[in-house]
Amino acid sequence: MCPQPPGAGTPPPTPLPQGEGESLVPAGFGALSRIRHNCVAPFTRTGPPRMSLMTWLADQKLSDWVQGLGSLSAAGAAVGIALRQERLERHRAAAAAELRAQVLAAAIVPVLRDMQSSLRVRSGLLQTTRRLAADEHPPNTEELAVMLPDIFMNTIERADVFGAPVAAQLYTLIHRVEDYNRYVRACREWGVPPRQWDASLRPKLDAIGTAVAFLEPRLSHHIDALEAIQPTGPAAAVAAQNR
């Protein structure tokens, strides 16, 4: 056999088809562009198919519906019971506070009425000091001083059951009584002329009377409510027997 020239046994290269836009591009670059076009596929977003709300509701089982409604009913009943229990506890707390206020008022109101009588007596004594003769002695410190019963100091920590205005007036009353008694002792110890006692002590005595006049009707209101709840007397006894 005659020797063949190199490359004679290989088939000739297949010419690449020229596509759109490749008429002016060399053959090598056209092959590269077709490879890139075939390897890089266009990106498409895929995902689960969408389902409408009505379709989802139609696909649910009847047992699921019954179970869901039962859970909602149980939750609503639990909330209602909790709210009713809370209202009941608030009502009980308010009733207990009102009862404590009525008991304290029943102990304080008689003392306030005694203080009103005592203030009238002290007011009369102060008037006599303006007309004292030169040889007359002024009233003693004990006669002019206003006694502060222990009931105020024992119940001052529980005065909040009457509300803020009444509790504040109770504190004010205690302060004014102590201030008045301190001025009474000062007039005696510092040698203030008796004719000037009324001018020095009258404003403080009137301030005590103002505080007592504020407290007495408001605390008496609690006693009236207590008597309305628990009536006493023959009529109440007859009503209890009829029951």
For 190-218, the three-class secondary structure string (H helix, E strand, C coil) is CCCCHHHHHHHHHHHHHHHHHHHHHHHHH
Q: What is the pLDDT of residue 111?
A: 92
Confidence of residue 135 (pLDDT cuts 50, 70, 90): confident
Q: What is the pLDDT of residue 24?
A: 46
Confidence of residue 224 (pLDDT cuts 50, 70, 90): confident
Ranges of each domain in the chain: 67-230
Best-predicted range by mean pLDDT among 27-41, 159-173, 220-234?
A: 159-173
Confidence of residue 21 (pLDDT cuts 50, 70, 90): very low
Question: What does the pLDDT look like over 61-120, one tens digit per residue?
Answer: 666 667 777 788 888 888 888 888 888 888 888 878 788 888 888 889 999 999 999 999
* Cβ count within 10 A of residue 171: 13
- The residue that leads in pLDDT, 219 or 227, is 219
Question: What does the pLDDT look like over 120-133, one tens digit per residue?
Answer: 999 999 988 888 77
Q: Is the dihedral of CA 141, 144, 149, 155 positive or negative?
A: negative
Helix axes 197-229, 164-189, angle to 10 degrees: 150
